[in-house]
Amino acid sequence: MPQIFEIFGYPITDKSEEAENNRGAARCPFMGRDCDGGGNRYASQIDLSRNKALAAMFPERSKLASGVCSIQVLPDTTPWIVCPRRLLVLGRERAGARTHQKNSEAKTLQIIGYPPGTKIGVWPEVKVKYKETVNDLLITFDYTFDYILMPIGSVSQSAIEQSTGGNWSELQRIFEAGGYTIAKRGREYYVEDCPIGIPSIIEIMTSSTSGGNKNKRTTIPMAFEDAMLRGTHEAPGINYRQVWARMASQLIAKSEIALNWGGKTIWVVQDVLVEYISATTALNVRHFLTEHTSEVNLLSFSYGEAFHAPKGVIDLSQAELFAGPISSIPKDAPKPKPSFQDITRSPICPPLSFLKGLLAKRKPTNQVVAP
């Protein structure tokens, strides 16, 4: 029976004063502020006016996010992280200053590969919608990126005009509306912390839940309520197929766009997801274990044995990089090399005799004649 493993960052079994105080404050220790529900932010909100017992635990709130970080499907097995904040948060604090996720942050920035000392801007949840007419057909690029990282610095108005082709009077209004500091030095204006150089994309891919059953009280909010009030509860399971299918639909496109910009995309994932992808697709991710980035990059973090710890926020201390080409070149090679496009292929192909055996169990419902 699936169980919630962590609530508001702490193992559910941790009854220490530190953990209880953090739960009472509904605080996410990874963001350093109130929990926003993470990947379940819209479906996990609880109206406290409908639950007086839970409202008594949070007297100053009218609504509460279900702070479920991870779910343990079976006892004594690695929990599945279901909240992207649990895996990695960027841009809330100065690099290296956070209390938790120091290793995850440092490893991610190291993999991106900017020179030491580079000042990097972080833009969360950047929606890029771009349209272009190709061969009289309107093509749309429409994606939202978890994080865009890009070197920043002080840039003169002439340099900005040259790089964008825009007019400074219009550009100045845009930068001011965006909250940038603009200072005049000599004859020119300068935009401070202006994006320059090559961008990088960070995508956080965590697990999805099966949704749960209201009658059995296995939805995220209900499981959270029961865990907080009674301790005994049943959590929803993991929707394994949706996890990798959601990732596969974006993996190539988001990796290619960063390459087109001259940068790279880093997919931050959990080790159990890597194992699931390897077991259910034609892509054996472990064949791509490396120390260097490539066209597609999965940075995998793991609890290791730390999930056995009875107390405290567990940092994901173990990391592995899996990187390789998007596609095998040439495609018509007699023995094409493995590539990340294999994630869209089936790991096995049932023989025709197996299909015939299935059809033999049920006669066709109709017959048609080919024209």
Instruction: Report pLDDT digits (tens) over 293-314.
Output: 999 999 999 999 989 877 899 9
> Comparing C-alpha atoms, which of 362, 360, 325 is closest to residue 342?
325
Distances (CA, A) of 293 to 18, 114, 122, 289, 340: 39, 13, 20, 10, 13
Instruction: Tell me the per-residue pLDDT of 355-366, one tens digit each, with 9 for 90 and over.
Output: 667 666 766 666
- Distance, first Cα to last Cα, the chain: 54
Residues 227 and 252 in one domain: no
Same domain for 248 and 119: yes
77 and 7 fall within a common domain: yes
| Structural domain boundaries enclosing 351 | 100-152+198-205+239-357
Based on the domain organization, do 1 and 148 belong to the same domain?
A: no
Task: Assess whether 116 and 77 both reside in one domain.
Answer: no
pLDDT at residue 63 tops 80: yes
268 and 231 belong to one structural domain: no
Residue 290 counted as domain residue: yes
CA 89/CA 99 separation, integer angstroms: 12
Query: Is 155 a residue whose pLDDT tops 80?
Result: yes
Same domain, 72 and 108: no
| 142 and 274 both lie in a single domain | yes
* pLDDT band at 166; cut points 50, 70, 90: confident
Confidence of residue 277 (pLDDT cuts 50, 70, 90): confident
Give pLDDT, residue 370. Answer: 41
Indicate whether 295 belongs to any domain: yes
- Does 90 map to a domain? no
Return the percentage of the chain with pLDDT > 90, whole number. Answer: 42
The pLDDT assigned to 40 comes to 62
Task: Examine the domain organization and report whether 338 and 210 are in the same domain.
Answer: no
Residue 371 has pLDDT above 60, yes or no: no
Which residues, other chains included, contact 55 with Cβ-Cβ below 8 Å and sequence gap of 6+? 48, 49, 61
Residue 367, pLDDT score? 57
Number of domains in the chain: 2
297 token code pair: 């990059």
What is the pLDDT, as a whole number, of residue 319? 95
- Model confidence at 339, in pLDDT bands (50, 70, 90)? confident
Please indicate, yes or no, if residue 364 is contained in any of the structural domains.
no
DSSP 274: H
Q: Are residues 46 and 143 in the same domain?
A: no
User: Is residue 14 assigned to a domain?
Assistant: yes
Residues 58 and 27 in one domain: yes
Half-sphere exposure of 154 (CA within 13 A, CB side): 8
Identity at 350, one-letter amino acid code: P
pLDDT, tens digit, 9 for 90 and up, residues 207-220? 888 877 888 898 99
**177 in any annotated domain:** no
Q: Are residues 228 and 146 in the same domain?
A: no
Domain termination site, one of 187, 217, 238: 238
Q: Does some domain include residue 185?
A: no
pLDDT in the model for residue 346: 54
The per-type count for the chain, helices as H runs and strands as E runs, is 10, 17
Q: Which residue, chain included where needed, has tokens 């635990």? A: 57
Q: How confident is the model at residue 281 (pLDDT cuts 50, 70, 90)?
A: confident
On the question of pLDDT at 107 being above 70, the answer is yes
Residue 324 resides in a domain:
yes
